[in-house]
Structure 1
């Protein structure tokens, strides 16, 4: 045998062992024959493929497939069971927690031997079911015993508590709290009785008040149209009044603006006249313009002012020269005397 043939055979054996190993890890032994059964669950409780199927703790198969059926909310679970396993009619396939970590498995519950009515053919549907962790891992009788023990313990504790409350120390915190609660309930009952008596004594007044309120409501209901008409008229009058005030105010504003416009026009014309006059003054027109622009007139006025000042001083110092009916000789005489004095 050549080396190539040996290598090819070795490769085929390795591939076959790999396929068998993968299937074995998933829980299926391809070397043994098996049968398929189906279960429809409302809730698969997170069951997964390759989960184990057990009977009385013995592994008899695995979950081959889990899928949601089309057009339905049910989950179809396919169970791959051992070929030599006979499944009687009425068998329940119960999903249970196979440990504290939440791993789920399927447990087959066969009906009692005396109630069996034949066996199921491969491809048949089993009855779905589910049990909790305690129900799956603790036998029913033991579970009843545990529940009975818990009930007895709770009953004993309640009896002890009742005995302590009935014949125990009256100054204990529990007894004092019960007494306070009893007093509170008594006060509440007394207050309720007082309220009942008050309501009974005031029932006539309350009825009269309610009757008056009913009559008032009826009067208001009958006058609803009139009240609505009055409100509408008041609304219209208020609108007209507001409209009249607004029109009057707008008219006054228009008149004020018109007067202000006339005033501004007059002021504009006055400013135009002043501007024209200043232009004439700058151009040397008129007396004021000539006075501002002509130096000779200013000089003449200055000389006239100086001469007037000299004349005034001469009149003050030698008034005799200006006295009427004085002869020329007498004036010259006074002039000579003044010249000597100087």
Structure 2
């Protein structure tokens, strides 16, 4: 062998060893022909890269080989992740490949959630994928609606303060200051009134005591009177009232009947007419006595007989006689 050939063989061996060692350090053994490849589609991969580890029940079984964009129309923009599994552990096509982060500061990895029902997964199959939300992602998702609400509150607060600024102009502030001053004056007046009231009470304390004592005596006397009234025989009072009512009923019956003189006077029309006629005659007699007193009364100082009474004619009759 020539030196050039030996040198070329050595260089090739070094390059091959370097590539194998590099892949071995990444966890991929190029000499292992049992590796299987699977694909998973995600909308987002959350920091997943080609060096990410693939685990199954916590055991490292492979790594991510390739991440490309999906070119199909219906899923354009999605990411297709191809990973290799070097372990011959069997699981079905219904298994789920989840993107997770082992700690908040580390990158994302793939975890196979095995399912044993259904057809077994073979190299080249498309598996179902999902993404486990990390601590920061979940905090971000919870902070997003909170941020929206805070923005809305800030906008409303800004509108409120704008309205307050419009209301609290110089005139309004002056009116408020004057109102506060008036309230202070009212409070001072109330304090003075309270002081005067206290002075009046202090000065008339003895009179108040006397008044209260008199009120107490009056209430005691009223209670005694009420107690004495309760001792009165109510039954006797009721009986007397019933007797009075019965007597009144008897009196009304007699007045309505024609037996007594008062009943006849009230109920007999003839007696009423006679009394009325007698009254008229008595009225005529009194009128005649007033007009002609000589007809009924005679006075004589010397025993002279009075002249016989001659009724005087009215003026109209006297003219006819003449």
TM-score, normalised relative to structure 2: 0.38
Q: Which protein is richer in helix relative to its size? A: 1
Higher RCO structure (Cα 8 Å, ≥6 apart): 2
TM-score, normalised relative to structure 1: 0.36
